[in-house]
Amino acid sequence: MTIAFVLKMEKNDNIEAFQNLNQSIKPLFIKFCYNLGIDLLLYKRFFMFAYENENEKRNNNDLSFPEEEVKLAKTMMDELGTTMEFFHYLMNHREKSSLTIILLSADDLNLDNLLPKWKRQTDILFELDKVNNVYVIICQSTDRDGGKQFAEILMSNIHMHGDCDTYCVVSESKTTTYPIQEVIFKMVEKYIGIKEDKKANRVFFTRFENIENTDITYYT
C-alpha cells in the first residue's frame, strides 16, 4: 500500500495526500522513500510544492498587512472623516447629490505641485503620504463617469510628466447608507490589493453593494 502511494506521488496524481500526512509520520515517510532509492530530487520537488502550497493557504487567510498600509488607512480616515461627514449631511438634505473619491499614487514623481493645478476649484485635495506620493481627491457633484474621466485625465497628465507607474482607485458615493469608515476602508483595501499585485496604470472602481465594477484599463 505504501509503495502504491509513493508511485502515485511519482505520477503527480496525489500531491494532496502528502500534504495531509500527519506531521509525526512525515519524517518516517522521508526515510522510507530514501531507503527505497527514490530519486531524492524528485521527492524534494513534491515536498517543496506541498510546503509552498500550505504556506499559500496560510497567507490567503492572513489578516496582517505592512505597517505603512495600516497607517495609510488610519491617515485617510483621519483626513477625510469630518469632510465626509459634512457631505453625508448634504446628501441627507438634498435630493440629488453625489460625489466621487479618487485615491491616487505615482511612483517616483512628486505630485504635490501638480495636483493642485489639475483639480477643479470645487475638488478637495488631501495629501495622505508625501513620501510615497499618495493623494485623495473628493470631486463634488460628480458621478461614476465623471470620476472615471477625471481619473483618466490625471493619469494622462502624470505620464506626460514622467514615465512612472500610477495606482488609482475610484469610488462613487450616492447615498449615506454605508458608513464613512466602510467607504474609506474598502478603498484602501482595494488600493493595497492592486499595489501588491502590481496592477499599475489602470483605473479601478469600488462600489458598496457588494458589487465590483469591471476594472478599466487606461494606460498600459
Residue spans of beta strands (DSSP E) within the chain: 99-106, 124-129, 134-140, 166-173, 202-206, 216-217
Dihedral sign from CA coordinates of 74, 79, 80, 81: positive
Asked if the 67-217 domain carries CATH number 3.30.70.270, the reply is yes
Q: What is the pLDDT of residue 95?
A: 67
Task: Categorize the per-residue pLDDT at 37 as very low, low, confident or very high, splitting at 50, 70 and 90.
Answer: low
Residue 2: per-residue pLDDT: 43
With a cut of 60, say whether residue 45 has pLDDT above it. no
Which of 179-196 are b and which e, b meaning 16 or more Cβ less than 10 Å from the residue's Cβ? ebeebbebbbebbbebbe
Most confident segment among 30-34, 41-45, 96-100, 156-160: 156-160
CA–CA separation, 202 and 192 (whole Å): 14
What average pLDDT does range 61-75 have in this prediction?
A: 77
Q: What is the enclosing helix (H) or strand (E) of 94?
A: none
Domain assignments of the chain as residue spans, ordered by start: 2-60, 67-217
Phi, psi for 23 (deg, rounded to 5): -60, -35
pLDDT-derived band at 82 (thresholds 50, 70, 90) equals: very high
> What integer pLDDT is reported at residue 68 of this predicted model?
76
**pLDDT at position 173:** 85
Residues 22-34 have a mean pLDDT of 52
Strands (E) across 33-110 are located at 99-106
Percent of the chain whose pLDDT exceeds 70: 63
The model carries a pTM of 0.67
pLDDT digits (tens, 9 = 90+) for 187-197: 999 999 999 89
Mean pLDDT of the chain: 75
